[in-house]
Amino acid sequence: MIQVPLFPGYLFVRTDLNPPEHLEIVKTVGVVRFVGNAGGPLSVKDETIESLKIMVMGGEEILTGTRFKKGDKIVVVNGPFVGIIGEFLQYRGQGRVIVNIEALGQFAAVNVDEDDVEPLPQILS
């Protein structure tokens, strides 16, 4: 059996993110940046870490991935583009996604906040 990381490229650390400690973590070989948004690094809840530990110790296959994959039918439910129905195209980083809308044999795409889109209910797709 081959062991592979649950989330390749991610390292979980416990820190209060004071500037000197932050700098030491970023100086670690292989560390590129902290997961976060425009407001700075985001923390992972202790409950989430404990749940991941339980899953790993369970010995069963764990499926990981992102919320959407290319081609998923989605609908914009919040923001200035509410009501748009299209296909998920790609993640843009910083919580943004691109929604592709097919029209007249061409496409138009909008960049929206990931929290503003949901999978299109099966009855509508």
Q: What is the mean pLDDT of residues 109-119?
A: 86
> Residue 56: what are its φ and ψ, rounded to 5°?
-65, -40
Indicate yes or no: pTM above 0.85.
no
pLDDT tens-digit map of 11-62: 888 888 788 888 888 888 888 888 877 777 888 888 988 988 888 888 777 7
| Domain 73-119 belongs in CATH node 2.30.30.30 | yes
Residue 125 has pLDDT above 60, yes or no: no
Structural domain boundaries of the chain?
A: 1-65, 73-119
Q: In this structure, what is the dihedral angle of CA atoms 75, 79, 82, 84, given to the nearest 10 degrees?
A: -60
pLDDT tens-digit map of 74-97: 898 988 889 988 888 887 776 777
pLDDT at 63: 60
